Chains A and B, each alone.
Chain A
């Protein structure tokens, strides 16, 4: 099953708070899990990514937590700022017909209130 389920659909967080977005998958053949950030009128931009042999990866205020047994991963944005307001997509990479391709979640629209 090549699907990635993402929740919530939208999220409002106060400035300084923690934003948490969750994703789940079924196919254990996925081997790379990136998160993309998209601002209105722009293309998705790679934010942070993790491989399934690691349980956590942190880059600045952004952290991915990965639970291989539960087939879930999440993005945590610490000290959320109004500039973080964007749509976030989780994705999973799978080898298909000999090459890697990404399967995207449905997106989470984050609004950080001042």
Chain B
């Protein structure tokens, strides 16, 4: 059974460019979470969805960040415009119950 799928795995972009990260949750899971991981701040919850509806986006650092979940099998996290301090590993996780969360392999974003 496929786990959480994220793309791209690596993204290098220049400051000011738009970046879109993609996530496909595990089939049947109705909760989806976006996290950011850095050495300084650890794992931070950015936003989470339940049944495709955004529930809490209080972790989104700035208005430059936005996330959508148009259907149960796809979500995007967009950064526009990107800045060097956005460099991090971004994880998507999904859950059926809300308790056990299953993480994807992550997208390593580098903004130069």
Contact = CB atoms under 8 A, between A and B. Distances in A.
Interface of A: 32, 34, 36, 41-46, 49, 89, 93, 96-107
B29 to A, nearest CB: 13
For the side of the interface on B, what is the size category? 20 to 34
B43 interface: yes
Contacts, number: 57
B100 A104 contact: no
Q: Top 5 closest A-B pairs, CB basis?
A: A100-B98, A43-B103, A104-B43, A106-B42, A32-B99
Interface in B93-112: 93, 95, 97-106
Contacts of B43: 44, 89, 104, 107
A43 B101 CA distance: 11
A101 B56 contact: yes
A11 B58 CA distance: 33
Interface of B: 4, 31, 33, 42-43, 45, 48, 50, 55-56, 91, 93, 95, 97-106
A89 to B, nearest CB: 7
A101 B45 contact: yes
A101 B91 contact: no
A46 B42 contact: no
